[in-house]
Amino acid sequence: MPGPTVKMLARLIVGMPALFVASAAAALPPAPPLAPFPATGTVQYAFTPGDHADDMIITAITSARQQVLVQAYSFTHRRIADALVQARNRGIDVAVIADHEQARVNNSTLLRDLARSGVAVLYDPRHAWAHNKVIVIDAGHQDCAVVTGSYNFTYAAQHRNAENVLILRGNPPLCEAYRTNWLRHKAHSLPPHR
């Protein structure tokens, strides 16, 4: 039986017509958890191996105009990291929350490289696994996007694993819900040890 996240995603994709206008996007509250809400915008998907999910994610990051917030369980994909650094160099607010234990066990030099490049990197030690694989782009704007799925931001996820990625664009309440969740995790996350 599908869990609540699968049910919510199904409702999002099948959902009802939009009930709000673009000018109200920034004023909208996050979507309530576990309750259906109107689906709007577009859905883009990829499955690996086979589809170029990494290119799809990099294109989404490249389209950011204000902010990119990342939650990552494992992060070893150099090209995705480079896209985050390039976004930061364009003046985009870029921040990453990574799983504390994964970063420690994998000795993630890539996360250290991101931090050295000016990307805000935090580690979430509160959970057994900070297992989110999420990117929130330009929340608070009509053309915002949420990247989510099973896809870790790793070379293995692209080339060896059976993974999926969704990019959900143009649904401000959903983007705000994901940003609110990101901020909840940021509140208990820690900076890298120097």
- Label the pairing between strands 134-137 and 67-72: antiparallel
54, 99, 124, 138: the catalytic one is 138
Q: Is 131 a catalytic residue?
A: yes
The single residue of 93, 113, 131, 141 carrying the catalytic annotation is 131
Give me the catalytic one of 77, 100, 133, 185: 133
d(CA 72, CA 45): 19
- Residues 147, 128: Cα–Cα separation, whole Å: 23
Active site residue 77: no
- Asked if omega into 2 is within 30° of 0 (cis), the reply is no
- Whether 133 is catalytic is yes
54 contacts 77 by C-beta, under 8 angstroms:
yes
Strand order of the β-sheet with 163-169 is 42-48, 163-169, 145-149, 134-137, 67-72, 93-99, 120-124
H-helix or E-strand spanning residue 45: strand 42-48
DSSP element (H, E) containing 93: strand 93-99
User: In the structure encoding, which two tokens stand for residue 132, read together?
Assistant: 């989110």
Q: Active-site positions?
A: 131, 133, 138
